[in-house]
């Protein structure tokens, strides 16, 4: 692997990448995360009996807001004018939620960090909303599934599935 780290200069210091010479292209990224929980917790989410309200709606909004504010959370990340953020939450019985965050823009730099941040914050929101009944929940397998646009081309991997034991 001969590629250089883009956020480290020739002296080994962290710096923000200069994207001024890059072309604006359509860019997309998809990330996923899983929240593993007790089956009873997933049942509560599905039947709307959690004390804090609609878990999926709240997690969806949190993920969208997180994507929009990624440059404030991740050092050296460029602010990006996003054109679309979609958060899909799927109940995977018996014991997990699959979060898929898809982010789009027309920019000089990619939206991988925005998709990963959206999936992560949606997962954290589920944990926060359900921790009173299930402190043993785990956030698992947060990862990039797909990115396209820009000079480096397309990266893609198979999404996780809803089978227990991921």
- Residues near 12 by Cβ (< 8 Å), separated by ≥ 6? none
Contact 103, 84 (CB under 8 A): yes
For the chain, give every domain's residue range.
25-156
The per-residue pLDDT for range 77-115, each reduced to its tens digit, is: 999 999 999 999 999 999 999 999 999 999 999 999 999
Distance CA 96, CA 86 (A): 20
- Can you give the pTM of this predicted structure? 0.91
The per-residue pLDDT for range 52-85, each reduced to its tens digit, is: 899 999 999 999 999 999 999 999 999 999 999 9
Q: What's the token pair of residue 152?
A: 């480096």
Percent of the chain predicted with pLDDT > 90: 75
Asked whether the predicted pLDDT for residue 14 surpasses 90, the reply is no
CATH of 25-156, one of 1.10.3720.10, 3.30.70.640, 2.40.37.10, 3.30.70.260: 3.30.70.640
Which of 11, 13, 17 has the alpha carbon at shortest distance from 151?
Answer: 17
Distance CA 32, CA 161 (A): 10
Catalytic residues: 128
Q: What's the token pair of residue 8?
A: 């480290």
Percent of the chain predicted with pLDDT > 70: 94
């Amino acid at each position: 692997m001969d590629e250089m780290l883009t956020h480290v200069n020739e002296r080994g210091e962290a710096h923000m990448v200069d994207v001024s010479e890059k072309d604006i292209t359509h860019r997309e990224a998809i990330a996923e995360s899983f929240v593993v929980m007790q089956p009873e917790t997933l049942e509560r989410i599905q039947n709307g009996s959690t004390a804090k309200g609609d878990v999926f709606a709240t997690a969806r909004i949190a993920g969208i807001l997180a994507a929009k504010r990624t440059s404030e959370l991740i050092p050296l990340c460029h602010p990006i004018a996003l054109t679309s953020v979609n958060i899909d939450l799927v109940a995977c019985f018996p014991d997990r939620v699959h979060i898929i965050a898809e982010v789009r823009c027309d920019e000089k730099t990619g939206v991988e960090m925005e998709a990963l941040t959206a999936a992560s914050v949606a997962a954290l929101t589920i944990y926060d909303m359900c921790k009173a009944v299930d402190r043993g929940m785990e956030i698992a397998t947060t990862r990039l599934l797909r990115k396209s646009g820009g000079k480096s081309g397309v990266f893609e991997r198979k999404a996780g599935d809803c089978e227990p034991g991921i």
